[in-house]
């Protein structure tokens, strides 16, 4: 089975790039939070995104013999 880039852990650089992109997307929604809470939320969003992608990739692989 071909390994997707999200089936492995993101490098620190990739994770930071994804956090920065999410920060831009959600800027208006999170600007009321302190910098520390913004950092925590963005880290959680990246983790959740990566976990969901891994679940979907595995589910798709099971259906595509």
Structure tokens at 45: 């969003």
> Taking the model in full, what pTM does it have?
0.79
Q: pLDDT by residue (tens digit) across 34-52? A: 999 999 999 999 999 999 9
- SS3 at position 6: coil
Read out DSSP for 21-43?
A: HHHHHTHHHHTTS-HHHHHHHHH
How many Å apart are CA 56 and CA 62, to the nearest integer? Answer: 10
Q: pLDDT by residue (tens digit) across 16-34? A: 999 999 999 999 999 999 9
């Amino acid at each position: 089975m071909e390994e997707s880039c999200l089936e492995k852990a993101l490098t620190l650089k990739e994770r930071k790039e994804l956090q920065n992109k999410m920060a831009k997307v959600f800027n208006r929604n999170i600007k009321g939070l302190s910098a520390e809470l913004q950092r925590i939320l963005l880290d959680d969003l990246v983790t959740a995104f990566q976990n969901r992608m891994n679940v979907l990739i595995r589910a798709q692989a099971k259906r595509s013999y």
